[in-house]
Structure 1
Amino acid sequence: MTTHTTAPGTPETPDTPDSNAPAATGLIGLPATVGRALATGGGALAVVSAFLAWTWTAEFPGDLTVYGYPGGLQVLVLIGGLFTTLFGLASYGVKGLKVLTPGNADSALKLAALGTFATAWYTVIAISAKLGGVVNLEPGGYLVALATLVALLGALALPFQRPEPDPADPDDTGWEAFRHRARQKRANFKAAFAAEPPAPGRTLPAWAEILVITGVMALGLLVFTYGIGTEYDELFIGFLLTAGFGFAALAKAGLVARISAITTRHRTVTMTGAFVAAAAFPFTQSDDQYATIGVYILIFATVALGLNIVVGLAGLLDLGYVAFLGVGAYTAALVSGSPSSPLHVHWPFWASALLGAVVAMIFGVLIGAPTLRLRGDYLAIVTLGFGEIFRITVLNMDGTSGPDVTNGSNGISSIPNLNILGFDFGQEHQLLGTTIGRFANYFLLMLLITLVVVVVFRRSSDSRIGRAWIAIREDETAALAMGINGFRVKLIAFALGACLAGLAGSVQAHVTYTVTPEQYQFAHVVPPNSAFLLAAVVLGGMGTISGPLVGASLLYLIPAKLQFLGDYQLFAFGVALVLLMRFRPEGLIPNRRRQLEFHEDTAAPAVLSKAGA
């Protein structure tokens, strides 16, 4: 089969066939035209099946017994089927649909079909397991299982460029030969889902690009609201499958790269739109049930963004960062009028928040001054020790083992709600015709603080000190040779990151009512903790703004929704992290420099941004 290559910015032209080039075939032995027809037709049948009944009883949540009206997991399969059908038509070159695939339509089709198959078969298996066998399926259930299987088989028949096999050593033992064949199979599977880099395409007018950004923000709000509002476990797992494979398909199609380029050209508009969409979240909720998760996600995300300065920009591995969150929380709790506080003072919020940030920054300087001359693993061990020292210290300051300051394991309780200019955050309020509860009030306050942290991160990363941080991260020896004062630069990053964590901690103290030592361990079932914070930065994308925000949102939302797994919750969560790091080690929203480190075959952009939007 003749292969085609496309250089960015140039029209697609067929290359001269090379007899030595590996053949472009699919994972299964079907012609490509048949594969596209099966994948497209299977996706269309999956859409049709969503309007049929999948089971006869409403005992399975979501009420999948109705004809003509999709519900529950049927909606997710409907979305996956639409993606599969559209990408299938785009792979045929249908006029008007090529705009959906500036990258590689075949790769997007494969992932869309795989995601639809996973969601549909998970639903069918869940129905059979919950109700007692496949006999409980209605015709729609059988149809969706068959249609998605056909779509997946058709997608796997699409051609891909097999990598040139490495020559085998004739002296290899049986085990070494087996490992060589396994490596080649993994390379083939990876190539099957690889996408060509998207062509630059036409530049839209500024107003059109702003409309695109607005639509993306609205879609993001819709997806987040749907995910956080899933009412039962099966629906949330289906949501994860659909959202994960859907995002991967859009990335392979080149739409993510195209939208990223648009947002980079309009960074201020993008940031404004993102915060407007986030501020609209409480108005989409009828009660405070999910606003509770929202405010904790913002606290977690804000602290992760502060850690991103230390880890993502300066390259300092800090494993005790959650202690600075605790310093800010305890400081604010001591001066906010709690009856458990030995100080018996009640400062206004702005004063307690400022004090929490300053005290955390002072601790950052005191801890960083003697330790930042260390590098790598040694620095990580010292910061981990500081985190444990902080927890043990506040645990022992109970009046028995030490001075009576923090009430030991009981912590500081009954922290009063905030009252700013007569606005009581603990009471319900009517705003724009919507009742805003306690957690929604704190959500909006925390959103403002997150905006402050984002502005600080963006301005500092674009400054001279930000460029010095990046130089230290890339090669500290070379940076020192160029005249950068490495110790001073690292100490500033450490102090600034601690200050931002203390600011978030001052709000957390009022949201949780009680501050206890158990909240600030290195590893704890409920985030935030140092392990989850570091995972949020790495998973989301080191050195970017949106990366840690997205990573923190996922790392808080997923454990909160997977509580039904009980003792297997952390196991499932760990497996998910391993898979994400295996297939996307640069993070969900990577910094361009870091993306090039993991994908050497990716074309380097003309300008490398210091921090992503």
Structure 2
Amino acid sequence: MSLTTPSEPGPPPEPAPDPEVGPAVASPAGHAANGPGGAPPRPPFAQDWRRIARMGAIGAFGQIFISLSNMPVKLDGRAIIEGILSLGYLSLVVLPLAAGSRVGHQIRREGVPFHRPGAHEVVGGAACGALVGGGLSLLAVLIANFDLREPLVNWSPILADLLAFNRGTAFAVVIWLVIGAAVGAAGGLLRVAPPLVRRVLWTMVLTLFGAAVLESLTTDLAEGMGIEALIDWFYAPRGGLTITGAIALAAGSGVLAFVGRGRIKGAKARIDALEGPARNRAHLGLIMATAAVLVILPMFAGKLTNELLANVGLFVLLALGLNIVVGLAGILDLGYVAFFAVGSYSAAVLTAATSPKIHPELPWFVALIGVVLLTGLVGLFIGAPVIRMRGDYLAIVTLGFGEIIRLLFLSDWLSGWFGGSQGITNIPGAEIFGLAEVAGTDPRSVFYLVLAFCAIAIYVSWRLERSRIGRAWMAVREDETVAEAMGINTVNVKLLAFVVGAVLGSFSGAIFSAKVGSVFPASFLILVSIVILVVVIFGGMGNIVGVIAGSAVLIGVLGGPKQPGLLAEFSEFKLLIYGALLVWMMLARPEGLIPSVRRTRELHQEELAQDAWLRGQTEDDNGEAQS
């Protein structure tokens, strides 16, 4: 029954209908709507011009920043589609597209009116995109009239010619306003288009971009499979997709996206609906199929692809170890590179004849036992004094310990043991039970060794996550005070996370020393810890599949701190891109690329509570709440 009694005032009168929108009707969910699709579209020019100006100004500043970072000039040599689009010009149209799409964004929550998309979004996107493009128009004028190369080294005629398409400043001013408006309108159209059309268009765009980015990988695989003629049809001699190849790829991917709409989600839903042995068999089948691809793929790949796969695998192994520390236990460890360094130096000392003081020259697998023990002790040594700290204090102290370990290996005090700045060289490869030797000269064998240890790390992480200790880690991550009140020994639990993460990191270090054949203190900068942390956050903290996906995307495409990726042109911009991705992930998708279900609930708990509160408030206002 209604909570309103005769002695109480009735519900407030409904607001007068907006003449531009029409009378609002309360939907069962509690938000204003006109029909099942929401309120009618807003008039095209009924814009929030202040919001457009703000987003346009931010986008224009971003365009100027990207241009003065020299990214467009450096990336202009990498073609996406031959003679039509390069990676440099692509970097200049991303912001107008994003701004044009975002400016029409509406918050769809309980109690908040929602208007159907229409011409309003297209007009707003075009206006915002024109302002963003105007940043490049302004930059072209400034470069033509002022010389600021003293403080800004990239303030150059080369950039001016690129912005003007080699046609003069006046052309640059006009063309970037036009391009910005057109691309911004396209971003607005994406909001108006039906979901199926959006899916098809995004699939086509991502397919073309992915094919251009993966050109070296695809070419390398084609040579191993003997289909060079087909690849020559798709790719131009100087790089980039041919026009006919781009059309064929776009059409094929669009048809597949249309035909396969909903089938991937449907298959995932069917697998998630399975229970007991049936679900285990489905997961086992997926694992076996993935393993078969990873085993067969290197056989057809050349050295370039296998080297890339080996580097990605090393970072997967490191990220899996850090995922236990950060993703499961919630310990922000900024000095994780210390365990990588200890594993590398321990393996080098125990296996290399050139080790300065101790050189037992043990077989690699025997030395690995010593590596695990030594790294576990270092994990205890680092974890014991800092484990009672929390939050920022813990992060700062682990950062300090990571630098201390590197400086110890670099110091003259221990140079008689570890070689100081000269490091340890001529490290032998990893012998596999005396049958084969894995060394950097054969990246395929290195990848298979890394793959074996990644499989071990994945299995250990999976078992620990579902064990009693794993649940204790997640309880500590969610609320350490409550976990301690429930009887969990938080000190021991966090210390165990440190040790397990250290051991997994030592595996990667031992393989790294055998692969490279030498170790130097310069290989273990704090930047390695930061990159691994970015990989874990980007992929999805607490989720094994997410961590692997994050490593494949970031390390495979951009490369590691000193390891090249598929896009070698990004070598001097990778840290800038890492930072931008990290900021974007924190704002837009803090749970990561492939999030853990538990972690997603933790991060969005406040939003769910707010929606529930708004729903209750709306029901009270409409007099629909039940006693």
Q: Same fold (TM over 0.5)?
A: yes
Q: In the TM superposition, what is the alpha-carbon distance from 1:418 to its structure 2 partner?
A: 2.4
Which residue of structure 2 lines up, in the alignment, with residue 424 of structure 1? Answer: 437
C-alpha separation between the residues in 1 aligned to 2:327 and 2:421? 34
Give yes or no for contact 2:320–2:547 (8 Å, CA) kept in 1. Answer: yes
How far 1:26 sits from its partner (Å)?
7.4
Q: Are residues 271 and 385 of structure 1, via their aligned partners in 2, closer, same or farther at CA, if it must alter by over 3 Å?
A: same
Question: Structure 1 residue 470: deviation in Å?
Answer: 0.8
Matched, 1:574 2:574: no
Alignment of 1:507 onto 2:522: no
Supply the distance in 2 between the matched residues of 1:260 and 1:4 (Cα, whole angstroms): 37
Q: Does 1:384 align with 2:410?
A: no
Task: For residue 20 of structure 1, report the CA deviation from its aligned partner.
Answer: 14
Residue 381 of structure 2 corresponds to: 366
User: Any idea what SS the aligned residue of 2:362 has?
Assistant: coil
Q: Distance in 1 between matches of 2:42 and 2:317?
A: 45
Inter-partner Cα distance in structure 1 for 2:392 and 2:483: 20
Provide the secondary structure at the position in 2 that maps to 1:25: coil
- Per-residue deviation, 1:570: 2.2
Shift of 1:19: 9.2
Superposition RMSD in Å: 5.3
**Closer, same or farther in 2 for the Cα pair 1:28/1:352, shift >3 Å?**
farther
What is the match of residue 333 of structure 2? 318
Given that 1:332 and 1:352 are in contact with CA atoms closer than 8 Å, whether structure 2 keeps it comes out as: yes
2:609 maps to 1:594: no
The equivalences for 1:408-447 within 5 A come to 408-420=420-432, 421-426=434-439, 438-447=442-451
Return the alpha-carbon distance in structure 1 between the equivalents of residues 523 and 587 of structure 2: 30
Q: Do 2:409 and 2:415's aligned partners in 1 also have CA atoms closer than 8 Å?
A: no
Is contact 2:329-2:497 (8 Å) kept?
Answer: yes
Residue matched to 1:553:
552
| Deviation of 1:276 (Å) | 2.4
Per-residue CA deviations over 1:5-37 (Å, capped at 9, x if unaligned) read: 999xxxxx9x9955999725379679xxxxxxx
Go from structure 1 to structure 2 and tell me whether the alpha carbon gap of 1:594 and 1:392 turns closer, same or farther (over 3 Å shift).
same
Deviations 1:210-254 (A, max 9, x none): xxxxxxxxxxx9999668558999859xx9xx9xx99xx99xx87
Q: Secondary structure at the match of 2:493?
A: helix
Shift of residue 558, structure 1, vs aligned partner: 1.2
User: How many angstroms apart in 1 are the aligned matches of 2:366 and 2:37?
Assistant: 69
Contact 1:361 1:498 in 2 (8 A): yes
Q: CA deviation at 1:477?
A: 1.2
Q: Secondary structure at the match of 1:405?
A: helix
Equivalent of residue 190 in structure 2, options 144, 155, 158: 155
Aligned amino acid, residue 445 of structure 2: N
2:438, 2:515 within 8 Å by CA — same for their partners in 1? no
1:189 aligns to what? none
Where does 1:136-535 land on structure 2 (aligned, <5 Å)?
152=187, 154-158=189-193, 228=217, 258=266, 260-261=268-269, 265=279, 266-285=282-301, 287-396=302-411, 398=412, 401-402=413-414, 404-420=416-432, 421-426=434-439, 438-523=442-527, 529-535=528-534
Q: Which aligned pairs between 1:97-136 and structure 2 lie closer than 5 A?
A: 133=165
The answer for the alignment partner of 1:214 in structure 2 is none
Gaps of 5+ in 2: 1-20, 47-75, 91-116, 134-157, 168-178, 200-209, 220-234, 273-278, 610-627
* CA deviation after TM superposition for structure 1 residue 508, in Å: 0.8
Q: CA deviation at 1:530?
A: 0.8
Measured at CA, do residues 379 and 63 of structure 1 come closer, stay the same or move farther in structure 2, by a change above 3 Å? closer
Task: Please tell me the residue identity of whatever aligns with 2:480.
Answer: E
With over 3 angstroms needed to count, the CA separation of the structure-2 counterparts of 1:318 and 1:223, relative to structure 1, is: farther
Number of residue pairs the alignment of both structures matches: 443
Letter in 2 for 1:463: S
Which residue of structure 2 lines up, in the alignment, with residue 537 of structure 1?
536
Q: Deviations over 1:264-300 (max 9, x none)?
A: 5433333333332222331342x20121121111111
Determine the C-alpha separation between the residues in 2 that align with 1:502 and 1:593. Answer: 28
Contact 1:28 1:156 in 2 (8 A): no
Letter of the 1:484 counterpart: I
**How many Å separate the matches in 2 of 1:271 and 1:4?**
50
Query: Contact 1:356/1:505 (CA < 8 Å) preserved in 2?
Result: no
> AA paired with 2:41?
T
Deviation at residue 569 of structure 1 after TM alignment: 4.0
Computing the radius of gyration from Cα coordinates, the structure with the larger value is 2
Q: Aligned letter for 1:406?
A: F
2:487 alignment partner, SS class: coil
Distance 1:17 1:453 in 2: 51
TM-score (norm 1): 0.60
Counterpart CA distance in 1 for 2:271 and 2:342 is 36
* Alignment partners' CA distance in 2, 1:411 and 1:26: 67
- Amino acid aligned to 1:587: G
**Relative to 1, partners in 2 of residues 1:224 and 1:72: Cα closer, same or farther, differing over 3 Å?**
closer
Change (3 A) 1:342 1:6: farther
Q: How does 1:28-39 map to 2 (within 5 A)?
A: none
Aligned partner letter, 2:423: G
CA deviation profile, 1:93-125 (whole Å, cap 9, x unmatched)? xxxxxxxxxxxxx99xx9xxx9xx9xxx9xxxx
- AA aligned opposite 2:408: T
Describe the shift of the 1:407–1:594 C-alpha distance in structure 2 as closer, same or farther (beyond 3 A): same
- Structure 1: state its 5+ residue gaps: 8-12, 31-58, 77-105, 136-143, 161-192, 196-220, 428-436, 524-528, 604-613
What is the CA-CA distance between 1:158 and the residue it aligns to?
4.5
Counterparts in 2 of 1:378 and 1:22: CA distance versus 1, 3 Å: same
Q: C-alpha distance in 1, partners of 2:514/2:532?
A: 21
Determine the C-alpha separation between the residues in 2 that align with 1:387 and 1:380: 11
Shift in alpha-carbon separation, 1:225–1:279, aligned structure 2, 3 A: farther
Q: Displacement of 1:320 after TM fit?
A: 0.7
Overall identity of the aligned pairs, in %? 32
d(CA) in 1 for partners of 2:458, 2:375? 19
TM-score (norm: length of structure 2): 0.58
What is the CA-CA distance between 1:417 and the residue it aligns to?
2.0
